[in-house]
Structure 1
Amino acid sequence: MMVNHVQNPTHDPSRLGRSAAAAAALLLALPLPARGAELLSAAHASIEADAAGRHVAALADDAFEGREGGSRGGRAAGAYIMDALAKTGLEPVGDGGGYGQQFGGMRNILGLLRGRDPQLAREVIVVGAHYDHVGYGNQDNSYGPFGFVHNGADDNASGVAGLLELAEALGHLPERPRRSILVAFWDGEEKGLLGSRHFLRVRPAALADSRLVFSINLDMIGRLRDRRLEVYGTRSARGLRSAVVAANVDPGHAAGLDLIFNWDVTDDSDHYPFIAAGIPTLMFHTGLHDQYHRPSDDVHLVNLDGIAPVVRLSLGVLTAVADEAGAAPAFRPECRNESDATRRALEAPAVAAGSRGRWGIGTRADSCEADAPVVVRVSADSPAAKAGLLPGDRFLAVGGTKVTDQTAMIDMLRAANPAVDVEVERRGRIMRLEMRTDEAR
């Protein structure tokens, strides 16, 4: 991840605060539709922490001298990646029929899985990770000390390792998805997002007639803590949050990941050029830390077991969009003017005006995710409170009927019997709760 201004990195712990889960026992990992589960079972099984760990250890070795873009260490890292990518069988779509796309002494690395649909195959989904780092560090790109190899184990050997595992997993799908998937390893990210910007300006000949419809960026996914993953970009198209939640099913952990949705759009990683170009884009990130852009960002601090669930989540979203028979996600330009402050305003607790109502809840509509109204008030000792509903939860279904908007949700609750099952999303995890009024007790 690129440094915009070198100062002491900070991390806002309030973004990672965790509400008490009064109904944690009811937490469910809902299954994907049958076809989605079939597509992903073998691919999920192929994603291994040990294999990712070997890639992280190799790329974060001193021999690559910090992988600075354009340096001998950077070129050597690129050669390592191309060798690993060739073993996945993805089609080379760089310059001259190879994997590399040259620019300014640097090199992107590009491999393609062509879609099976004759029409939709021209629509391309990009999943990328930058492989360069800052070399020996200097006052413009490091928090010091300077002059020592900055191995960048988390930033971004972890993302590259995850992407190589994802590339291999694509070969385990029982059939190719409808749309094409481009696996891209960006160079020059630390120098100003140079690789991703170049790709968007100068499309390789093999992709000249394609249309980029969606992208995912993996940057610093090696420090998963308490299963918390930061997710950026869900506001760039309607339905992206729902797609991420649906894919948040980890075979190794029934509860899935604890997702922190951040609405900021900042120019510090390779997701930004895609959003600037009007392409819906997600970024997955496990958060900053004290070793960020320092020589101490080394492999022994990487949570290798934590890379696999992030890759599985990425694969789930990727294949869902790639195999969708309908239209690809449409870019939502309003996302450029939203921020995490906008999110906090939407989710801010509301004070009850008058009666608390039958269920004791208040909700607020979300213009981007209309089918997931946000709970902003839960009255004490109300049926909602006793069921375990919390502010910040999002309604998905009432009595087994999917919510389409806030008005429909209110009507369903008004018509509900004294006891009703509701389905809500809490930080990327789907829960079923039973609300019971006094007359049902």
Structure 2
Amino acid sequence: MTKFRILFLALICAVCAQIDAASRTQCDAEKKGLATINRASAEATIGFLAADELEGREAGWQGGRIAGQYIASLLQLWGIEPLFDSYFQPFEAYRAERAKPGRLQVHPDSIAVIKAQPVHQKYAMRNVLGKIEGKKKDEIVIVGAHYDHLGYDPMLDGDKIYNGADDNASGVSAVLQIARAFLATGEQPERTVIFAFWDGEEKGLLGSKYFAQVYPDIKKVKGYLNFDMIGRNMDESRPKHVAFMYTEATPAFGEWLKKDVKQYNLQLEPDYRPWDNPVGGSDNATFARLQIPIMWYHTNGHPDYHMPGDEAYKINWEKVVEISKASFLGAWKMANQKF
């Protein structure tokens, strides 16, 4: 064997050893993160956010502000940095006087037209935003869910509170568990990860729209993972069902989930739905319209959708936990791998 061949084989072995070591590190990190995701955390978060005392968390109302403060306090407790000087990103939304048609707006041009009218509505809202700094300063991924819901209606006969346990306290619990799991890995991700809790989604995706139009580094965002309703069963005979929608041009997202379900024996039966332009339904639309690849977990509608009956005791806790685990694995790969 020539010296050249010996050196070549030694180089190949060294490269393979580095790849194996990196793979083991990633696997160990995933296992550490998964170990922190549990039912007790899901029950605590969803139970608080969906409690009657928060009166349905309507954006711009006191219950919504309490919910935002609760989320920010957890991020601070765990040592996750705020994205800006504060965990809160305040913004205002405007609409014409309620007798006139029109939706709440956050775009400056639309606001200028509305404010020119002598009588108009103004809502004060705020997103909650934390981050884990990555090694690459020019690449960002976002994990997000809206925390607002529909509030309460004093004219309802009976239960007057739209508690929003599934919509979307369940999604908020997943983002919080993922944030804590990232910390538990003990590894700095390659890309910066923003943990986003949007306000005003129920009033027209307002929080994510505002963020996208003012965030100076929006062009650095390489991927977005969304949650909206992950805690119920549309079909009670299929308790493990979850719809997994993702950008069709990024097939790695679907391949990751298929591999993780098998490798970690996740108790899920995903319905894989690649979508050429996933703009429907939730805050994922804001990012899909900017050509940012997205993942979106959703367990479909149910009889309590946007009704007072959407309460915590009806949540499928095992499903919430398993989806949180699957999505942590996806988020970890989104933050660390090429796609």
Shorter-chain TM-score bucket reads: 0.7 to 0.9
Stretches of structure 1 that go unaligned for 5 or more consecutive residues are: 1-31, 330-441
The alignment partner of 1:232 has SS state of strand
Paired AA for residue 144 in structure 2: G
Q: Measured at CA, do residues 171 and 71 of structure 1 come closer, stay the same or move farther in structure 2, by a change above 3 Å? A: same
Contact 2:260–2:329 at 8 Å: present in 1 too?
A: yes
Give the C-alpha shift of residue 35 in structure 1.
3.5
The alignment status of 1:74 with 2:86, answered yes or no, reads no
Partner of 2:293: 280
Counterpart-to-counterpart distance in 2, 1:259 and 1:112: 28
Give the C-alpha shift of residue 201 in structure 1.
0.3
Counterpart-to-counterpart distance in 1, 2:207 and 2:309: 25
Give the C-alpha shift of residue 92 in structure 1.
0.5
Residues 302-323 of structure 1 show CA distances to partners (whole Å, capped at 9, x for unaligned) of 1122211111111111111211
Identity of aligned residues (%): 34
Partner of 1:154: 166
Counterpart-to-counterpart distance in 1, 2:174 and 2:165: 12
Partner of 2:88: 100
Counterpart-to-counterpart distance in 2, 1:74 and 1:210: 30
Paired AA for residue 270 in structure 2: L
Counterpart-to-counterpart distance in 1, 2:153 and 2:251: 40
Higher helix share: 2
Partner of 1:293: 306
Pick one of 146, 157, 175 that aligns with 1:130: 146
Contact 1:249–1:313 at 8 Å: present in 2 too?
A: no
Counterpart-to-counterpart distance in 1, 2:262 and 2:274: 23
The alignment partner of 2:307 has SS state of coil
Paired AA for residue 194 in structure 2: L
Counterpart-to-counterpart distance in 1, 2:315 and 2:157: 20
The alignment status of 1:166 with 2:185, answered yes or no, reads no
Paired AA for residue 294 in structure 2: T
Counterpart-to-counterpart distance in 1, 2:271 and 2:249: 16
Contact 2:141–2:223 at 8 Å: present in 1 too?
A: yes
Counterpart-to-counterpart distance in 1, 2:242 and 2:24: 26
The alignment status of 1:42 with 2:32, answered yes or no, reads yes
Q: Measured at CA, do residues 171 and 255 of structure 1 come closer, stay the same or move farther in structure 2, by a change above 3 Å? A: closer
The alignment partner of 2:149 has SS state of coil
Give the C-alpha shift of residue 138 in structure 1.
10
Paired AA for residue 103 in structure 1: F
Paired AA for residue 39 in structure 2: A
Partner of 2:189: 177
Counterpart-to-counterpart distance in 1, 2:157 and 2:137: 48
Counterpart-to-counterpart distance in 2, 1:255 and 1:318: 16
Q: Measured at CA, do residues 63 and 178 of structure 1 come closer, stay the same or move farther in structure 2, by a change above 3 Å? A: same
Partner of 1:373: none
Partner of 1:260: 271
Give the C-alpha shift of residue 247 in structure 1.
2.7
The alignment partner of 1:82 has SS state of helix
Pick one of 306, 324, 327 that aligns with 1:311: 324
Deviation above 6 Å: which 4+ runs of structure 1? 144-147
Give the C-alpha shift of residue 229 in structure 1.
0.9
Partner of 2:12: none
Counterpart-to-counterpart distance in 2, 1:39 and 1:121: 21
Residues 365-403 of structure 1 show CA distances to partners (whole Å, capped at 9, x for unaligned) of xxxxxxxxxxxxxxxxxxxxxxxxxxxxxxxxxxxxxxx
Partner of 1:52: 42
Counterpart-to-counterpart distance in 2, 1:150 and 1:267: 23
The alignment partner of 2:72 has SS state of helix
Give the C-alpha shift of residue 52 in structure 1.
1.0
Counterpart-to-counterpart distance in 1, 2:157 and 2:172: 25
Aligned length: 281
Paired AA for residue 141 in structure 2: I
Give the C-alpha shift of residue 160 in structure 1.
0.6
With the length of structure 1 as denominator, give the TM-score of the two structures: 0.60
Give the C-alpha shift of residue 137 in structure 1.
5.2
Pick one of 183, 207, 230 that aligns with 1:221: 230
**C-alpha root-mean-square deviation of aligned residues, in Å?**
2.3
Contact 1:42–1:173 at 8 Å: present in 2 too?
A: yes
Partner of 1:190: 202
Partner of 1:109: 128
The alignment status of 1:61 with 2:51, answered yes or no, reads yes
Q: Measured at CA, do residues 175 and 167 of structure 1 come closer, stay the same or move farther in structure 2, by a change above 3 Å? A: same
Counterpart-to-counterpart distance in 2, 1:189 and 1:147: 23
Paired AA for residue 210 in structure 2: H
- Larger RCO (alpha carbons 8 Å, 6+ apart): 2
Contact 1:218–1:283 at 8 Å: present in 2 too?
A: yes
The alignment partner of 2:55 has SS state of helix
Partner of 2:99: none
Q: Measured at CA, do residues 163 and 209 of structure 1 come closer, stay the same or move farther in structure 2, by a change above 3 Å? A: closer
Partner of 1:369: none
Partner of 2:221: 212
Counterpart-to-counterpart distance in 2, 1:184 and 1:70: 18
In the TM superposition, 1:372-387 aligns within 5 A as none
Contact 2:266–2:326 at 8 Å: present in 1 too?
A: no
Residues 20-71 of structure 1 show CA distances to partners (whole Å, capped at 9, x for unaligned) of xxxxxxxxxxxx9534321111110001111110110000011111001111
Partner of 2:256: 243
Contact 1:249–1:256 at 8 Å: present in 2 too?
A: no
Counterpart-to-counterpart distance in 1, 2:231 and 2:269: 15
